[in-house]
Amino acid sequence: MSFDLIVRRAQVATAADLFLCDIGIAGGRITALGERLQADAHTREIDAAGRFVTPGGVDAHCHLDQPMLPPARLADDFETGTRSAACGGTTTVIPFAAQQKGHSVQAAVEDYHRRADGKASVDYAFHLIVSDPTPTVLHEELPALIEQGYTSFKIYMTYDDMKLDDRQLLELLEVARRHGAMAMIHAENTDAIAFLTERLLGAGKTAPRFHGLSRPSPVEREATHRAITLAELVDVPILIVHVSGAEAVEQIRWARGKGLNVQAETCPQYLFLTQDDMALEGFLGARCVCSPPPRDKANQQVIWDGLVDGLFSIVSSDHAPFNYDGDSGGKRLGGKEPAFPYIPNGIPGIETRLPLLFSEGVLAGRISLQQFVALTATNAARLYGLYPRKGTIAVGSDADLVIWNTGTPHTIRNETLHHAADYTPYEGMELQAWPAMTLLRGETVWDGEHFLGRAGAGRFLRCDKPEAARPRPRQTSWRRWEGLDE
Ligand code: URP
Ligand code: ZN
Ligand code: ZN
């Protein structure tokens, strides 16, 4: 057996195991796991002795170069966003091709390929966002796109340019069920947000921190419950994205208790930020404005508990980077410091996702290394039809690896990150872990100090229909009784 690269004496972590071995790589794939693999004249070697090696991260929720409602404009395109991903140990990203109302989903997909092509330095797939589910979209476009490898879509229950009503949600869930796609739900009650926003503004409460009060936990709880109920009626698995706290968690636990297939995602902002970060002096709190908003310490603990006990399948970044200063498309809208409803929603985090969770999750003793791998790579690959090509360390998988430096403290500083945003909400945090090296298909894209990847080296990935999107046979399905499933 001949190898292009051997990673020697790695402490390999998968979602199931931890074992010491050499990793043999040829043609960008793992071709052997074993002891004392044989090198030949052209084999490169990396000594990973004493280091943990995990699968390259799969960030299944990030926004790169996604057109926004003006004037908001994302700071990262595919070049800067995937560069940042690689330097933080993420080798696969799944951002969103967003349908614009009045346009086709196909047009969004074509436009998004143009944005990614020649720019991405890590591999990428696309989720779809459906904002205008016309009969053509439901019965022609989506079925065709799902067959072509776009096997997941996000449904928004809020945001004026994206939101769908319950009837539309049901129609889309039915498409997911019929064609085997994974439906991701942004669960917040849009009318409640509009009502509360109006009352807050009427009382002169415009500062960034009021963003949190315009979207309190019941807003998320109600929408989460409604999404679960609508999915129950259609009998289809769903995934609730960016779950922020206890009330939504309770709904998901309740659904699981009923035997419903509800998956859940959370994000570092709900583990590491709180509402106090939106109340920083002046306008600084705008840097942590995202939706759903960060809650309080007690809610943070509930999210950590959900990682530990398996409530959450994935931790994604929800990287939605806006500049803070001097950018008309950023948080301050070019110095205007708008009232909270006009602050672009979202925070950067594609590079810090893995190190935050490795340091504060694994090394702080909250979760196991195997849980870390499952939450940051394996489960995302499984949920979105990329497993086992992505998300694990196994013979036949792409050689996407992170070799960890866990010896030296690493302080997060925006100036050392590689995104294009001008701040990180985690500035000054001291972590005990950072990637010493990231490999994409056997090529070093981050060496611990320098980005070594290449814009355009990232490949587009067609996703299989995820096993996780398949409805479970259930005794209680009224659809089956009524013959609707035939
Ligand atoms: O505030 C957020 N999360 N912005 C990104 C868009 C979304 O809803 O995920
Ligand atoms: Zn969302
Ligand atoms: Zn998002």
pTM over 0.85: yes
Please tell me the distance from the alpha carbon of residue 208 to that of residue 320, in angstroms, as a whole number: 17
In short, whether 278's Cβ falls inside 6 Å of ligand 1 is no
The DSSP annotation for 325-348 comes to SS-TTSTTTTTT---GGGSPP-B-
Ligand 2 ion: Cβ-proximal residues, 5 Å cutoff: 186
pLDDT of residue 472: 79
Residue type, 384: Y
- Interacting residues of 322 by C-beta distance below 8 A, sequence separation 6+: 72, 73, 74, 75, 329, 330, 331, 344, 346, 421
CA 4 / ligand 1 centre spacing (Å): 41
The tens digit of pLDDT for each residue in 407-451 reads: 899 999 999 999 999 999 999 999 999 999 999 999 999 999 999
pLDDT of residue 52: 98
In short, whether 318's Cβ falls inside 6 Å of ligand 1 is yes
Residue 348 contacts residue 419 (beta carbons within 8 Å): yes
Give the mutation target among 61, 62, 63 for probing the ligand 1 site: most ligand atoms within 8 A of CB. Answer: 63
pLDDT of residue 407: 84
Residue 183 contacts residue 238 (beta carbons within 8 Å): yes
Q: Give strand pairing partners of 23.
A: 7, 33
Please tell me the distance from the alpha carbon of residue 470 to that of residue 182, in angstroms, as a whole number: 8
Residue 129 contacts residue 103 (beta carbons within 8 Å): no
Residue 241 contacts residue 184 (beta carbons within 8 Å): yes
DSSP 8-state symbol, 32: E
Residue 359 three-state SS: helix
pLDDT of residue 475: 53
Give the mutation target among 152, 266, 291 for probing the ligand 1 site: most ligand atoms within 8 A of CB. Answer: 291
> pLDDT tens per residue, the chain (486 residues)?
999 999 999 999 999 999 999 999 999 999 999 999 999 999 999 999 999 999 999 999 999 999 999 999 999 999 999 999 999 999 999 999 999 999 999 999 999 999 999 999 999 999 999 999 999 999 999 999 999 999 999 999 999 999 999 999 999 999 999 999 999 999 999 999 999 999 999 999 999 999 999 999 999 999 999 999 999 999 999 999 999 999 999 999 999 999 999 999 999 999 999 999 999 999 999 999 999 999 999 999 999 999 999 999 999 999 999 999 988 999 999 999 999 999 999 999 999 999 999 999 999 999 999 999 999 999 999 999 999 999 999 999 999 999 999 989 999 999 999 999 999 999 999 999 999 999 999 999 999 999 999 999 999 999 999 999 999 776 556 666 567 665
- Written as six digits, the tokens of 146 are 């799902």
> What are the distances in angstroms from CA 290 to CA 159, 215, 271, 279, 320?
12, 10, 14, 13, 9
In short, whether 291's Cβ falls inside 6 Å of ligand 1 is yes
In short, whether 316's Cβ falls inside 6 Å of ligand 1 is no
